[in-house]
Structure 1
Amino acid sequence: HFVSCDLLGRIISLCWHPSGTLIAAGMMDMIKIFDAESGRATHRLLVERGVGASKSREVVVWSIAFLSDHTIISGDSAGKVQVWDGLTGTLVRTHLVTKWDVLALSSSQDESSVVAGTSEGTVVQFQFLSSNVGQQDKEWVRTRTFKNHSHDVRGLAQTDTAVVSGGMDTQLVVRPLLDKVEKNTQESALRKIAFPHRSLVCCAKKTGLLLFQFPDHLELWRLGESNGHGSPGDSLPVKRKPEKLIQLKRKVCTNVVYLNRSAITL
């Protein structure tokens, strides 16, 4: 059992070191590294706050990646991706990637690439590269920015050839890394899988009502009427046009994520 007496504050994110002996915990304004056997904190890394008015607000460390060489990479609510030396507890480099939040991180299997998902819907890739050709020294460099989402990117994974991302817009996006695949193949194609697979249109057959679910509002329509009856494919004269009865807009910055079918069976 892992019990620590050093936890004074909320834990927002966790990541194990690949050895299984250390845990990095993202908290408010800091990251703590714990020895898994003793439960004691070995390092405390203080995370810088934002600039201007945001400097007075606590920084939330939303995500952490803990690499084999004891490098720690963090994403926070001040829009920063920071690289830390986990052995000494020192900050190596800061990348400001967004004005909002960095919500998710994922490293590749060989730990040469890390991707960060933001609340702007972007995915930013960092790679461990030499700054100059021929040099042995490497550093974490921002290399690509992908914009395939309209809302928060909450989940990320890297395969050998692609970045997979998902979030609040209910889309699962498979973004190929073209330097890892041959061009003009199925692997090089951008793929979007839309969720949910359930219908976003509900019908109340008896009353002739349709309810449409959009990401930020709902629309209730009454179906039009025609004179007479016909067979499928026939064109009938319209007696009454379709009518929009209600449009309900959200009041806060959230999405319409679920709708019960019984909502319009009135």
Structure 2
Amino acid sequence: MTVVSGDSHGRITFWDSKFGTELQCIWTHKADVLCLAVNRDENLVVGSGVDASIVYITNMNSDSAPHHKRAKGKHGGIVSGKSHDMWTRSSVLHFHFHDIRDALFVGNQLVLGSMDTNLTVVTSPTRFMKISGLPHKQLVHTAKDANVLLLQYPTYLEVWKLGHSSVERVGTEKEILPLDSHPVKQIQIASKNNKAIVCSTISNNAKLLAYSTVDQSRIYCIKLPADQSKSEKPSVERLADFSNELPPAHQMIFTPDGTKFILATDVGTLQIHNFKQNEVTCINPAKGITDSIHLLEVSSDGQYVATGNGSGEVHVFATMSGEHVTTVPVRKYLPTAISFHPNKPVLFLAYSDLEPFPDRSIKYKRFGVQGPQSELHAFHITGKFKFILGLKALSDGQLVLVERTPKAIKDDLPPVLKMKKFGSS
């Protein structure tokens, strides 16, 4: 059996596990080797590390010479014959700009994880796909009637009062409109014992705020000053009795009128809390939910709630009775976003197939009572932004977009390995 190791000098070494002797050493990197991966046939080793180079090392004897028998060892290693395997560096690839900390073969595909927050799936040296490391959960919420923004961080929440502009004309795409008032941070709420926050939400009038950790959910009544020029301070009050009855949740949302609070619990159920009638409607897996809910959206009239889960199922329920209304046909791709039409019983869905627009990656589903309908739906696309953490509508017809720029991500990372390039000082 052959053991493969990488060291802090950038070398990958092959060892005879029986005698502990070195069989072959290849200098592959300019700094520490942090990860190694071996393919299923055990004729290819991939190494990477601090210099972010992905080095392929191929076994030159894998399909040759009858005297070289490739028998399997007890633990799946390679037992060398009279002549040990000869390995050689076959190719060097570069997909990341920061340390690569992990590498793994999944079938015939190589998966790489880097400190630049991206995953790379390599099918061949010329075919690869990058997956952004940004959270796929919703981290930005708006109280559109109050012009307030809720930002979710790992262990705390921030509530911001948005600025506004009195300029009514439509500017060009690159023009920044002047602000009459700038955004102001109103409240910061830390989670209990600094535990990680799983999900959060805020009501449209910015009077109720809730969040959940893995242990419990909490709900607060908040009061923001109407006039920023006065010395009035915001207040926060935890609704202790109500919070103690709430289970941990994966997703949560208030209805637009603030009379209902909906939670997708960590046990796969959907709870609808009616504040006016002081009752709870529980939708269990027997009514159609078969997996953990990662998408949750409420219609503008508060009559319907839509859920999306890890099995690709999208269901619509009535918020008053909890009855199942409709199910969207399951596709082989997962839904990544769902949204109701503001005036019609139509649910729009976006999927993860990453196909060019227009195509079926954006679909809509009709349900409920239908009035006069038009088949035409307008979609506006812009490629101006890179990493969008949140996109929400306000009551005045404006959109709030929160972007994390690539430069901001790069500036927050530890320094990369500095290597002198030809022609540079």
- Provide TM-score, normalisation by structure 2: 0.34
Q: 2:273 aligns with which of 126, 129, 140?
A: 126
| 1:168-207 equivalence runs, <5 A | 168-177=310-319, 179=321, 190-196=325-331
Supply the distance in 2 between the matched residues of 1:142 and 1:80 (Cα, whole angstroms): 18
Count of aligned residue pairs for this structure pair? 163
Question: Structure 1 residues 179, 13: CA separation in 2 closer, same or farther (over 3 Å shift)?
Answer: same
CA distance in 2, matches of 1:12, 1:162: 20
**Aligned partners of 1:150 and 1:40: how far apart in 2?**
42
Conservation of the 8 A alpha-carbon contact between 2:294 and 2:310: yes
**Cα-to-partner distance string for 1:170-191 (whole Å, 9 max, x where unaligned):** 21122234549xxxxxxx6553
Letter in 2 for 1:21: N
Distance 1:16-1:154 versus aligned 2 partners, 3 A rule: same
1:40 maps onto 2:177 in alignment: no
Contact 2:261/2:272 (8 A) holds in 1? yes
1:109 aligns with 2:256: yes
Q: Which residue does the alignment assign to 2:199?
A: 62
Q: Judge conservation of contact 1:175–1:191 (CA < 8 Å) in 2.
A: yes
- Equivalent pair of 1:66/1:72 in contact (CA under 8 Å): yes
Instruction: Return the offset for 1:12.
Output: 6.6
Distance, in Å, in 1 between the alignment partners of 2:157 and 2:279 is 22
Distance 2:279 2:293 in 1: 18
Distance in 1, matches of 2:146 and 2:204, equals 11
* Structure-1 residue corresponding to 2:83: none
- What letter matches 1:155 in structure 2? L
- Residue correspondence of structure 1 range 239-258 to structure 2 within 5 A: none
1:77 and 2:214 matched: yes
Over 3 Å counting, the alpha-carbon distance change for 1:146 and 1:33 in structure 2 is same
Task: Give the CA deviation at 1:71.
Answer: 1.7
Q: Does the CA contact (< 8 Å) of 1:125 and 1:145 recur in 2?
A: yes
Tell me: CA distance 1:32–1:189, structure 2 relative to 1, closer, same or farther (3 Å): closer
Deviation at 1:153, TM superposition (A): 0.7
1:31 alignment counterpart? 157
How far did residue 168 of structure 1 move? Answer: 0.8
Structure 1 SS opposite 2:141:
strand
Contact 2:152 2:200 (C-alpha < 8 Å) held by counterparts: yes
Q: Structure 1 residues 189-198 or 116-125, which shifts more? A: 189-198
- Quick one: structure 1 residues 77 and 194, their matched pair in 2 at CA, closer, same or farther if it must change by over 3 Å? farther
Mapped to 2, the partners of 1:61 and 1:189 lie a distance apart of 26
Letter in structure 1 aligned against 2:153: M
TM-score normalised per structure 1: 0.51
Question: What value does the CA root-mean-square deviation take over the aligned residues?
Answer: 3.1
**SS of residue in 2 equivalent to 1:89:** strand
Distance 1:18 1:176 in 2: 23
Partners of 1:48 and 1:75 lie apart in 2 by: 10
In structure 2, what is the Cα distance between the partners aligned to 1:95 and 1:164? Answer: 26
Q: Could you tell me which residue of structure 2 aligns to residue 91 of structure 1? A: 238
Do the aligned partners of residues 48 and 193 (structure 1) sit closer, same or farther apart at CA in structure 2, a change above 3 Å counting?
same
* Alpha-carbon contact 2:197-2:211 (below 8 Å) kept: no
Tell me, yes or no, if the aligned pair for 1:59 and 1:78 is still in contact at 8 Å: no
- Percent identity between the aligned chains? 7
Query: What secondary structure is seen at the aligned counterpart in 1 of 2:274?
Result: strand
Render the CA deviation track for 1:84-113: whole Å, top value 9, x for unaligned: 324312222314543xx5222222232211
One-letter code of the match for 1:64?
Answer: T
- For 2:321 and 2:326, the matched residues in 1 are separated by 17
**Preserved contact between residue 35 and residue 41 of structure 1 (Cα < 8 Å):** yes
Q: Is the 8 A contact 1:63 1:105 kept in 2?
A: yes
In structure 2, which of residues 305, 316, 323 is the aligned counterpart of residue 163 of structure 1?
A: 305
Unaligned runs of 5+ in 1: 1-9, 50-56, 131-140, 181-187, 199-266
Counterpart residue number, 2:55: none
Letter of the 1:163 counterpart: V
Q: Distance in 1 between matches of 2:317 and 2:252?
A: 15
